[in-house]
Structures are given as C-alpha cells and as structure tokens.
Chains A and B, each alone.
Chain A
Amino acid sequence: MVKTKRRHKNSFQGSKIDPRRFSRSQIKFYIILIPLAIFMILPVIMIISRAFMPLGELYAFPPHILAHNPTMTNFKNLFKLSSSTGVPMLRYLLNSVIVTVFTVLLNLIITILGAYTFAKKSFKGKAALFEINQLALMFVPTSVAIARYLVITKLNLTDTWLVHILPLAAMPVGLFLVKQFTDQIPNALIEAAVVDGARETLIIRKIIVPLIRPALATSVVLTFQQVWMATEASNNYTSTDTMRTLAYYLGSLSTNNAIAAAGITAAASVIMFIPNLIIFICMQSQVMNTMSHSGIK
C-alpha cells in the first residue's frame, strides 16, 4: 500500500508544468526548442545586420551573418533617396505617426467603453451583439477590400487620414480580449462605488481602467502592430503619395528590387520592425497576463 503510493508520487515527479528547478528530464525539450528558436530568430537578426552592412559586404559570397564593418550608409541613402523622389520620407513618417497615435487612442476609448458595457451591464440584445463580435473574430478584411472601397468612396473619405484610422479603430479581437478580462472584476467593487454616489464615468476611469490595464496594454500592442504595418488603406483608399504611410513607402521600395536597393530595403524594414519589437517586449508580461483570460467559451 505504502509502496504503490510512493510509486505514484515518483511518476508525478517526472512531469511538471512550469518547473521551478532544472532537471535532466528537461534536456530533451531544450534540444528541440533551442534550434527552433534559432531558426525563427536567425532571419530577423541577419536582416537587421544587413541594414548596417556596406555595399561590398551585402553581396559577399558566402553571405555574412553579422556585419563585419558596420556602417550607417544604408540609412543615409534611404533618406537621400526619398527626398529625391518628391515626397520626403519624413512626410510618410509623419503620416504613419499621426495615423498610429490616433488609431491607438481611438481604439482604446472605444474598447474600454465596449468591454465595460459588455462585461458589466445587462441590456437588450447583449448576447446577440457579443455573438456577432465573436463571429467577427474570424473576419478576413482582404475578402471585402472592394466593398470597403465602395463604402469609403461613398463617404468621401478617400485621401484623408480618417481612411487609415477608422477601419482599424474597431478591432473585434481587442474588444473580445478586454471584455474577457473585465469579466473577472468583482461586481461588488462597482456596486460599492455606486452606493458612494460615484458617476459611471468616474467608475470607469478610477476603478475599471486601472484594473484592466494588462488587457488594455495587449489591445494597444495588437492595434499598434496592425496599424503601423498596414498598407491596405495606402494601396486601395488613397491616390496621392502625400497621404500614404511609411509601411506603404517602404513596401514599394522592396518591390523594385534593384541591386543597390538591397541595403536600403534592409534599413527600411528595420525602421518598420524595431518599434513593434520594443513595444511588445515592454508589454510582454501584461500580454501574457491577458492571454490567460482569452478563452472562447
């Protein structure tokens, strides 16, 4: 009896989720995970180092992984090139920054209001509306690019900043994640505030927002990734270069794959990618916290 019990205990020791200590049984996972992680990250590292390579090194055979003589020439060339084509790169950058900031802010406000309402209020049609939003998680925007184009021309939004901002400001995934997170805030907290005479806007600002910060951070990360990289509006809903974004411009550079352009494109893609990476790393623990509430029931 005692013996069997011990055996069960021993077999349980063999398998542990989230272990505190290193044990030999973990080695096999490292053997798979480390090469995999290298395969995933290596292309990213190589492109980043290409951005700092002088022309001669870019076409070295065999190719170098890290730059032997790092230089900023590619970045300088990128700025020179764009100012010679009429629309300076700073204009694209300005468009991108404006569009990104406003989309993220607008999305944040809309998401807070929506998530609070769905999580903490009861009203007619709630279940149906949330069901529609859940259905929209599987929405594939490119499938209706044409119909969107028709709506946008009807609303006279072509060639404005709004055309970049509005389509991305309502994001079903963001609302869904924040709502799931808001669900776990105890209703008693809100009721107590109501008894104390707090207005609803105050409750949202002082109670809800501070408590759902991790979910909001996640929503910001996701919105940022979408809008910063977005080319749909620049490609389809604008006709003048002055209203297009950096992602579009840098993307159009990489399609004309001329020889000298290799370093410039690498530099351009680094400019696109680094903000994304930094924001994610900063918010990483909040994102993971949110994800534990992400389930669809």
Chain B
Amino acid sequence: MKKDKGFTSKDLKAYAYLSPYIILFTTFILVPVAIAIALSFSYFDVINRPSFTGLLNYVTLFTQDKIFLKYVLPNTFLYALIVGPGGYVLAFLIAWMLSQIQAIPRTVLSLCIYTPSMAGQVFIGVIWKTIFSGDQSGWVNSILMKMDIIDQPIQFLLTKDYFMLIMIIVSLWSAMGIGFLAMISGILNVDKELYEAAYVDGIKTRFQEIIYITVPSMKPQMLFGAVMAIVNAFNMGWIGVTLSGANPTPEYSGQLITNHIEDYGFIRYEMGYAAAISVMLLAIVYLFNLVAHRLFGEKED
C-alpha cells in the first residue's frame, strides 16, 4: 500500500464522479445536522441573531418541559419500540411464512401485505379517518353499534383513550416497507444444503431451523431490515397529527418527539429549543441502530 499524502488523478476522477452526490448530501443532510447541533446551544427566534446559551436548552428539556417528560418521551419510546422492533419481528415472521408457500400465491399475498407500505401520508390519513370516524358512519363504530357493543359512537380520533392504540395499529399496518421485501428474498436465498446438513446434524423443528440456520445465514438482510424498520418508526412521526388533524394530538396522547419539534419549531418559532429536541431525536435513532448492529452486524476483523 502506498501512503503518499497527495491526491492522484485517479482519486480526483473518483471524486468528480461522486461530486453531485457529495454536494447534495452535504447541503441537505450533513449541513442541516450540523446546524441543528449548533443551534441547540442557542436561543433563536428566526428574527434576531441566535444567542449562545450553552446547555440551557437541554437542561430545560430534561427538567422544565413537563409535556416532554410526561407525554412525549414515554409516548415516543412506547411507539418506537412497538412499531420498530415489534413491526420488524412481525415482518420477519410474515416473510418467513411466505417463504414456505409456492411462488405464485407468495407473490400475490406479498403484494397485498406490502401495498399499505406504499400508501403514503395522504392516503393513510384518508383511509383510517374513514375507518375510525367518530360518527356512526365510521366503519368501526358502525360494526360495534350493529353488534350492540356500544350505543353511542366513540370519538376515536378526538379523545385520548384509544388514540395511541390506533396510531400503533395504523403504523404497523403500513410498516412492512422495503425491509420486509429484503427479508423475503434473504430467506429465499439461504443455501438449501445448509438445511439438509442441519437435519443430518439433528435439527428437528422449523423453529430450530429459523434460529440456527435462517437468521444466521441472512444476517446482512436482517440488519438492513432492522435499520429500515427503525427509521420508518421515527419517520412515521406525522401519524398522530394526520389522524387527529391537529398538533398537539388529543391531550398529548399521541404526541411523539417529531410533533414536539414541529410544535416548537414551526408553531412557536423557538428554533434553538426545537433544535435541541432534534438532536435528542437523532441520538435516540442512533441508539436504536446501535442495538441493531450489535445483534446482526458481522465483525470484520
């Protein structure tokens, strides 16, 4: 290996090819993250110049912000744990079951199961608002009333009682994502001879098959799926506001950290404080990913 300092023309050419990507990546991902970190140590109301306040925003966040501590933080962890890892395990189990049936029905059923992941914010909002509509034409209300379980329609999306539950159902419904597709093809590509060998070695059940053969031989896909599942869980932060039509959600019952950022950033214009919450969000996502890499990452050395 040569260890010279300067760039060769080969290096320069490579960077020339990469430059459009690097420029856009820097402008819209790296710089915003850096700005968010910098602003999180300041007070900034968009009009006046930001003034340095040190760790004040973080101190306020963890000692004064009752809404953050009482609702946002627990909600976010509950929601992210169920929709992220929960949705991930679900996606794996479904992918595994799909791999046990023939190709044509598998394609049809996978398409049905994946379709909600393509729905997008607008479509998801329309669908589930119709299903959980608070009058008797809402589908859930209509079924419950017909079965004489309730006599008054329930305001599902305007009261706190069922709000988080509905958010989780809707998110899981649309959370299969491309990680799910990656896992289906991962399972299908596991070398069949491995199974044969394992049966000779004394494996007896399908469950053992999953634990000892399937998962270990598709770790890279498992990791990709895990990262996608986690990111999806946090990217779905708009779900509560879309369903209830307002930020904050009913009595903060579905308030997630993303909504809290928007509340302070775009509604109250306290950008420094909102930036501090953003940094916390990035840290939480990173934490979740660290766990995923621990579980499925392959050590290089």
Contacts and interface: CB of A to CB of B under 8 A. Distances in A.
B27 interface: yes
B142 interface: yes
A251 B285 contact: no
Contacts of B100: 15-17, 19, 26, 29
Nearest to B190: A17
A136 B32 CA distance: 13
A146 B282 contact: no
B111 A114 contact: no
B33 A145 contact: no
B213 to A, nearest CB: 10
B32 A147 contact: yes
A16 B18 CA distance: 44
Nearest to A139: B29
B111 A170 contact: no
Given A37-B113, A297-B298, A147 B143 contact: no
Interface residues of B, number: 110
A175 interface: yes
Interface in B171-227: 173, 178, 181-182, 184-190, 192, 195-196, 199-200, 204, 206, 209, 218-221, 223-224, 227
Contacts of A276: 118, 120
A293 B224 CA distance: 10
Contacts of A277: 115, 118
B230 A148 contact: no
Contacts of A169: 24
Interface in A110-130: 110-111, 113-114, 116-118, 121, 123-124, 126, 129
Interface in B57-95: 94
Interface string B264-275: 011000010011
Contacts of A118: 18
B136 interface: yes
Contacts of A268: 122, 126
A258 interface: no
A33 B90 CA distance: 12
B258 A142 contact: yes
A144 B142 CA distance: 41
Contacts of B123: 47, 269, 272-273
Contact of A148 (B32, B187, B238): B32
Interface in A4-61: 8, 11-12, 15-22, 26, 29-30, 32-34, 36-41, 43-44, 46-47, 50, 58-61
A110 B21 contact: yes
A97 interface: no
Given A15-B195, A33-B101, A268-B122, 17 more contacts: A26-B100, A37-B109, A41-B112, A44-B115, A61-B137, A113-B20, A114-B20, A114-B21, A117-B17, A140-B281, A143-B281, A247-B121, A251-B122, A254-B126, A273-B118, A276-B120, A277-B118
18 contacts: A16-B100, A21-B102, A22-B102, A40-B173, A61-B136, A113-B21, A124-B7, A144-B278, A145-B261, A167-B28, A247-B120, A251-B121, A265-B126, A269-B123, A273-B120, A288-B181, A289-B185, A292-B185
